[in-house]
Amino acid sequence: MAKLKNLIAELCPDGVEHKTLGEIATITRGNGLPKSDFTEFGVPCIHYGQIYTYYGIFASKTKSFVSSEVAVRLKKVNKGDIIIAVTSENIEDVCKCVVWLGEHGIVTGGHTAIIKHNQNPKYLAYWLQTASFHGQKHKIAHGTKVIEVTPSKLANIKIPIPPLPVQREIVRILDNFTELTAELTAELTAELTARKKQYEYYRNVLLSFLEKREGDYCGWVEQVEWSTLGEISLSISTGVTPLAGKPQFYLGGTIPWLRTQEVRFVDIWDTEMKITEKALNETSLKRVPVNCIIVAISGATAGRIGINKIPLTTNQHCCCFQINSDKALYRYVFHYLSSVNENILRLKQGARGDLNVGLIKRLAIPLPPLEEQARIVEILDKFDALTTDISAGLTAEIAARQKQYEYYRDKLLTFKEAM
pLDDT digits (tens, 9 = 90+) for 75-96: 999 999 999 999 988 888 899 9
The tens digit of pLDDT for each residue in 273-282 reads: 899 999 999 9
**What pLDDT does residue 60 have?**
95
Q: Give the closest residue to 94 by CA, choosing from 148, 154, 145.
A: 148
Instruction: Give how far Cα 329 sits from Cα of 40, 90, 225, 300, Å.
Output: 53, 43, 14, 28
Average pLDDT on 333-358 reads 83
Q: How far apart are CA 92 and CA 218, in angstroms?
A: 43
Do the domains spanning 17-161 and 210-367 agree at the CATH topology level?
yes
The tens digit of pLDDT for each residue in 150-185 reads: 999 999 999 999 999 999 999 999 999 888 888 888
The answer on pLDDT for 139 being more than 70 is: yes
**What pLDDT does residue 352 have?**
67
The H-assigned helical ranges of 207-320 are 277-282
Average pLDDT on 314-334 reads 95
HSE, CB side, 13 Å, CA atoms: give it for residue 350. Answer: 9
Q: How do the domains of the chain map onto residue ranges?
A: 17-161, 210-367
**What pLDDT does residue 135 have?**
92
Tell me the fold of 210-367: Adenine-n6-DNA-methyltransferase TaqI; Chain A, domain 2 (3.90.220)
Q: Give the closest residue to 248 by CA, choosing from 275, 284, 283.
A: 275
**What pLDDT does residue 306 have?**
93
Average pLDDT on 53-63 reads 94
- Which range among 91-95, 205-209, 302-306, 329-333 shows the weakest confidence by mean pLDDT? 205-209
**What pLDDT does residue 337 have?**
92
Q: Give the closest residue to 265 by CA, choosing from 304, 229, 303, 291.
A: 304
The answer on pLDDT for 211 being more than 60 is: no
Q: CA dihedral in degrees (256, 259, 260, 264; nearest 10)? A: -40
Q: Give the closest residue to 94 by CA, choosing from 137, 61, 136.
A: 137
Pairing of strands 112-117, 75-77: unpaired
**What pLDDT does residue 218 have?**
41
3-state secondary structure (DSSP) of residue 174: helix
The answer to whether 21 and 154 are in contact (CB under 8 A) is yes
pTM exceeds 0.75, yes or no:
no
The answer on pLDDT for 364 being more than 80 is: yes
Domain 17-161 grouped into CATH 3.90.220.20: yes
DSSP 57-125: SEESS-SEEE-HHHHTTSEEE-TT-EEEE-EESSTTTTT-EEEE--SS-EEE-TTEEEEEESS-HHHHH
Q: Give the closest residue to 162 by CA, choosing from 27, 1, 24.
A: 24
**What pLDDT does residue 209 have?**
57
Average pLDDT, the chain: 88
The answer on pLDDT for 215 being more than 70 is: no
**What pLDDT does residue 221 have?**
40
The answer on pLDDT for 210 being more than 50 is: no
3-state secondary structure (DSSP) of residue 318: strand
The residue type at 24:
I
**What pLDDT does residue 217 have?**
38
The tens digit of pLDDT for each residue in 216-270 reads: 434 444 467 889 999 999 999 999 988 767 888 888 899 999 998 899 888 899 9
**What pLDDT does residue 18 have?**
94
Angle (CA) 187-189-194 rounded to 5° is 95
The answer on pLDDT for 345 being more than 90 is: no
The residue type at 343:
N
- Can you say whether the dihedral through the CA atoms of 201, 207, 210, 214 is positive or negative? negative
**What pLDDT does residue 405 have?**
87
Average pLDDT on 390-411 reads 83
